[in-house]
Chain A
Amino acid sequence: MDHIFFLGTLMCVWVMVCLAANFVIGYTGMMAMGQAVYLGVGAYASATLNIYLGVNYFAAMALAAVVTGAVAVLTLLPLLRLSGFYFALATLGLNFVFFDLFHNLGPRVEGSEGLYGLELPAALGSPHAQIVTGLLITIACVLAANRLVGGAFGRALRATRDRPDALIALGKNPVHYQIVIWGVSGALTGLAGALYAATLFYIDPTLFTLNASILVLVYVGVGGLASNAGSVLGAVLLIAFTESFRYLGLPSVLAGPIQQGLYGALLVGLMLFRRQGLVGNHDFQE
């Protein structure tokens, strides 16, 4: 059962990342292709605070969210003048830039590539506790996300995406909304990163690569753009799909490639037949 709890906590982490990614990609129409960067910043920030400064892990999680939100805004500011596609490419390039930063500058434990030795409180100490805490945090995030996109702020986000001119006519600045939501998305991803570090108990730069960013894109794309339910659905279904591969009894050397090929086919099929994803409210536009 512990194995299921562990997978459940992993799902919580990715659900949070997808919610965050969907804020910017789906609701606001900003093509973010570097979500793994912020996941890594959050994980490294919380782990460093906890291991080297002895900060209580829950406090470290909160601080990690703040730090990541700030890093997200700082990385966004110079990119704001880029439009559509070039913006996407620049965020994609961030993956490579931050991988080298994590790899060359990130703290590591003697003899290994990454960082471990977290001091976790009882509420995160075992898989049972982790799934409960993870679920509570995730549910809180989902509820908050629903409130966030449901109200006036959410309407402004969608207007930023669809009718920036109308927003300007109302005397509001679309860029303002873009910065705020990017910061919120970064902070939520950072929080997920902190939970990720606690779940895995060990982090290294190989976790935060372009592959992870693409995975987020796949989860969000499958679940559905501009839909919190889509974020939850995409992450949960696809992680369950991936892990169920371990039980199909396929020859071990074929399981990995088959899974990867199916992911590819899923993307192609989605773009052909259902661009808005399973329960999305919007589809990929230029």
Chain B
Amino acid sequence: MPHMQPNHRLTRWIAATVCIGAVLGVALPDLARSQQASGTPYTLGVTYPLSGPFGAWGQLLVPAIEIAADHVNQAGGVNGHPLKLVVEDSKGNPEGAISAMRKVVQVDQVPAILTIFTNVVSAQIPLTMQFKVPIISPVEAPGLVARSSWAFAHSPLLTSTLPLLAEHWKNTKIKRLFAFFPNTPIAKFASPTTKAEAEKLGITYEEALFKLGDTDFRGLIARAKSFNPHAILIYGHGTPDEGVIMKQIRELGMNTPMFNACACVTVKSYRESAGKAAVGVVFSGFKYDRQAAKKLTDAYRAKLGFDPDYASLEVYDMVFMIAEAIKKYGYTGEGIRKGLAEVKDFRSIGGGLVGMDKDGQSVVPVALYRLTDVTKPDFVEIKP
């Protein structure tokens, strides 16, 4: 290969610089324009994954957030101002999380953000304090939002949903319990919590951690099978993987009753992958009163063609919490933070009353359900 001539090389560098300049020239005026546009509507940021392996979450939950904003606006908005959402793709990873957050805060000037996922929230927490912009999400990781007074979570924790199941196990005389958790930080607290609860009831306990993203879990389930449990608990992030586990438990010839401690079986992908195997599953989770949620359910069904899951109720609530915070303390980051920290006796779309604890973690009503139809989905509240 011949040697490159110096002037040739110079031309290339000039070409490179010109190209970069051209791109920045196109991008910059756009930035400036969008900064001016924030006028009378009250804008909120939404940083959800919309593409990649976690894209389904954004595709399912952002519509519920949009419906909530519509409902606020139909009721006259917030102090006469309509709510407007700026939705950005967080891609479900830290780089996307921070890019999206910086964009909605520094370009669109939003004073509060709705977000999701443990790793996204972890990445955004340091910025919340720096920007003085609160974030609220449905993550279920204890201690995560306690790290910052600007981070909030609206979700039931395992410590509140597990006792309902334990009560049920006690009444049905379960003696051997096998639990499946994903090998993510969620297992770090789920495992000891469940173990302690089992010990309290004199239940023999065994567990296995599965890897998110695998497609076949039968090797792992064979381990559960050799343990010969009376009950199986599946608790995780609500990914379709957990639905596959439910199905494959049945496909290994086990008829053991299955339990879920986060209402994840109501999630569309979860239900699809579990199929009929999920019928009869007993789950405890966020209170989901079908009558109370009708307003959301109808709008959601019209938009997507099926019923919303429990997380849609949570994100719907969040928009109303923020709206009330603005009414109380004004349309600023500090005001919204103050308002969210003081949430008390808030009427959830799921029917219960919600309060916020000192860590910024909501205390939510929970209930026990049995899934009766997996496609619709349909479920009935049961007594433990």
Q: Are A2's CB and B106's CB within 8 A?
A: yes
Contact A111 B141 (CB under 8 A): yes
Residue of A201, A232, A252 near B88 (CB, 8 A) is A252
Q: In the bound complex, how far is the Cα of B94 from the Cα of A200, in angstroms?
A: 7
Tell me whether A244 and B50 are in contact (CB under 8 A): no
Alpha-carbon distance A241/B27, docked complex (angstroms): 9
Chain B residues whose CB sits within 8 angstroms of the CB of A171 once the complex forms = none
B89-144 interface with A by 8 A CB criterion = 89, 91-95, 98-100, 102-103, 106-107, 118-119, 121-123, 125-127, 141-144
Residue of A nearest to B145 (CB): A111
Closest to B48 in A: A252
Is A108 among interface residues, defined by CB-CB distance under 8 A? Answer: yes
Interface residues of B in 227-277 (CB under 8 A from A): none
B198 within 8 A of partner (CB):
no
A1: chain B residues within 8 A (beta carbon): 106
Cα distance, A112 to B147, chains bound together (Å): 11
Bound complex: CA of A48 vs CA of B16, how far in Å? Answer: 36
**Contact yes or no, B12 A200, CB < 8 A:** no
Complex interface: chain B residues within 8 A of A110 (CB) = 143, 185, 188
For A116, the chain B residues whose CB sits under 8 A away are 122-123, 125-126
Query: Which residues does chain B contribute within 8 Å of A229, judged by CB atoms?
Result: 9, 12-13, 15-16
Q: Is the pair A204, B99 in contact by a Cβ cutoff of 8 Å?
A: no
Does residue B75 face the partner (Cβ distance < 8 Å to A)? no
Q: Which of chain B's residues 17-50 have a Cβ closer than 8 Å to chain A?
A: 19-20, 23-24, 26-28, 30-31, 34, 46, 50
Choose the segment among B52-60, B164-172, B328-336 that binds chain A (4+ C-beta atoms closer than 8 Å). B52-60
Do the beta carbons of A240 and B23 come within 8 Å of each other? yes
B51 in the interface, Cβ–Cβ < 8 Å? yes
Q: Which of A200, A202, A244 is within 8 Å of B27, CB to CB?
A: A244
**B87 contacts the other chain (Cβ, under 8 Å)?**
yes
Which B residues are CB-close (under 8 A) to A256? 50-52, 55, 89, 91
A200 touches B95 (CB 8 A): yes
Using Cβ atoms and an 8 Å threshold, which residues of chain B touch A113? 118-119, 122, 184-185
Given contacts A111-B142, A111-B144, whether A253 and B107 have CB atoms under 8 Å apart is: no
Report the count of interface residues on B (CB-CB < 8 A).
58
| A83 interface contact, C-beta 8 A | no
A243 at the interface (CB under 8 A from B): yes
Q: Name the CB-closest residue of B to A260.
A: B51
A4 CA to B31 CA in the complex, in Å? 9
Is A247's CB under 8 angstroms from B15's CB?
A: no
Q: A111-B141, A253-B59 are in contact. Are A247 and B31 (CB under 8 A)?
A: yes
Smallest Cβ distance from B3 to chain A, in angstroms?
A: 8
Q: Which B residues are in CB contact (< 8 Å) with A206?
A: 92-94, 119
B356 at the interface (CB under 8 A from A): no
Residues of chain B contacted by A158 (CB below 8 angstroms): 1
Of the candidates A109, A211, A227, A237, the one whose C-beta lies within 8 Å of that of B122 is A109
A201-B123, A227-B12, A233-B20 in contact; A244/B30 too (CB < 8 A)? yes
A243 CA / B144 CA spacing, docked (Å): 29
Most buried by A among B3, B4, B107, B122: B122
Is A114 in contact with chain B by the CB < 8 A criterion? yes
B375 within 8 A of A: no
Q: Are B51 and A246 in contact (CB under 8 A)?
A: no
Contact partners of A3 in chain B: CB under 8 A: 31, 102-103, 106-107
B183 within 8 A of A: yes
B55 and A281 contact, CB distance less than 8 A: no
| B122:A253 contact, CB within 8 angstroms | no
Q: Is the CB of A240 within 8 A of B27?
A: yes
Q: Annotate A244-258 by CB proximity to B: 1 below 8 A, 0 otherwise.
A: 101100001101110
In the complex the two chains form, what is the Cα distance from A202 to B94 in whole Å?
A: 7
CB atoms of A112 and B106 under 8 A apart: no
Given contacts A200-B98, A233-B20, A244-B30, 8 further A-B contacts (CB under 8 A): A1-B106, A6-B99, A113-B118, A200-B94, A229-B15, A240-B23, A243-B103, A247-B34
Interface set of A (CB-CB < 8 Å, partner B): 1-4, 6-7, 10, 103-104, 108-114, 116, 155, 158, 162, 200-204, 206-207, 211, 227, 229, 232-233, 236-237, 240-241, 243-244, 246-247, 252-253, 255-257, 259-260, 278-279, 281-282
Q: What are 19 pairs between A and B in contact, CB < 8 Å?
A: A2-B106, A6-B98, A109-B122, A111-B142, A111-B185, A112-B122, A113-B119, A162-B1, A200-B95, A202-B94, A207-B95, A236-B23, A237-B20, A240-B23, A252-B89, A256-B50, A256-B51, A281-B1, A282-B1
The 4 closest A-B pairs by CB, nearest first: A256-B51, A252-B87, A112-B122, A202-B123
